[in-house]
């Protein structure tokens, strides 16, 4: 089993703080085997992280968090940026056209662009996997909803720290049964459902700091855009 962080943001995300090297350092320090940097509607930092990952003893997985018209979708194993704003079904098609897999994060958390409120159960069940443990939880209710849905629909299950600062990488981990230590084997293991999830809640003070820092960075970028 390989320990994989499937949901982490770098400074390229509008709400992320740290460069990819700090994320990689943290992933290595906590004993992970692989890391996917999943910036909001950006892919360049993820490609950089995947290229640098072997220097840290890690497998790098290229990915991003796509903002579909219905909400967020994680794309893994892609080569190019997937356009934002597309319908949910088309977003999944674009990911798969690149040979990637589509994992829906925090699907039942409305406040964080979860897709479940905007699509049918059949559409949600068409994803390749469901994130059933997101460490940035409040009550845990939405995680439990996701797990029940995944079990009922026989969907592979993943976990993610949803880290926006490097210290939180590794808070929630997907353990993947992979035939070899490579990105392709990890993604195949996820798609086949050879996964288990391990996670712990991001501390409240850190969640608030991440939220506050993200809001500040969004405001600064908006101001820069007006200049």
Examine the pLDDT at 193 and tell me if it is beyond 90: yes
Q: What is the pLDDT of residues 111-160, one digit of tens each?
A: 889 999 999 999 999 999 999 999 988 678 999 999 999 999 999 999 99
Examine the pLDDT at 217 and tell me if it is beyond 90: no
Going 8 to 13 to 15 to 16, the CA torsion angle's sign is positive
- pTM for the complete prediction? 0.90
Confidence tier at 202 by pLDDT (50, 70, 90) = confident
Query: Average of pLDDT values for 19-25?
Result: 98
Query: Average of pLDDT values for 95-102?
Result: 98
Q: What ranges in 70-172 are assigned the alpha helix state H?
A: 88-97, 121-124, 141-152
Examine the pLDDT at 205 and tell me if it is beyond 80: no
- pLDDT on residue 137: 81
Provide the CB-side half-sphere exposure for 45 (13 A, CA).
26
User: What domains are there in the chain, each with its CATH number?
Assistant: 2-225 (3.20.20.140)
Closest alpha carbon to 199 in 164, 163, 167, 170: 170
| DSSP H helix total and E strand total for the chain | 7, 9
- Strand-pair category, 195-199 with 172-176: antiparallel
- pLDDT on residue 224: 60
Beta bridge partner(s), residue 97 = none
């Amino acid at each position: 089993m390989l320990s994989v962080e499937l949901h982490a943001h770098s400074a390229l995300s509008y709400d992320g703080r740290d460069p990819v090297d700090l994320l990689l350092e943290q992933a290595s320090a906590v004993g992970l085997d692989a890391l996917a940097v999943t910036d909001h509607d950006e892919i360049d930092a993820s490609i950089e992280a995947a290229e640098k990952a072997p220097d840290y003893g890690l497998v790098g997985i290229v990915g991003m968090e796509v903002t579909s018209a219905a909400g967020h979708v994680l794309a893994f194993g892609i080569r190019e940026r997937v356009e934002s704003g597309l319908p949910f079904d088309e977003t999944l098609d674009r990911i798969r056209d690149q040979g990637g897999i589509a994992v829906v994060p925090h699907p039942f958390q409305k406040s964080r662009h979860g897709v479940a409120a905007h699509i049918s159960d059949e559409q949600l069940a068409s994803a390749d996997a469901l994130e059933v443990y997101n460490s940035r939880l409040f009550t845990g209710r939405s995680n439990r909803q996701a797990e029940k849905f995944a079990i009922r629909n026989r969907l592979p299950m993943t976990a993610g720290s949803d880290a926006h600062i490097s210290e939180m990488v590794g808070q929630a981990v997907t353990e993947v049964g992979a035939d070899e230590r490579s990105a392709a084997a990890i993604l195949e293991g996820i798609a086949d459902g050879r996964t288990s999830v391990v996670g712990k809640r991001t501390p409240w003070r850190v969640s608030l700091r991440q939220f506050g820092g993200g809001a500040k960075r969004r405001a600064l970028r908006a101001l820069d855009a007006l200049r």
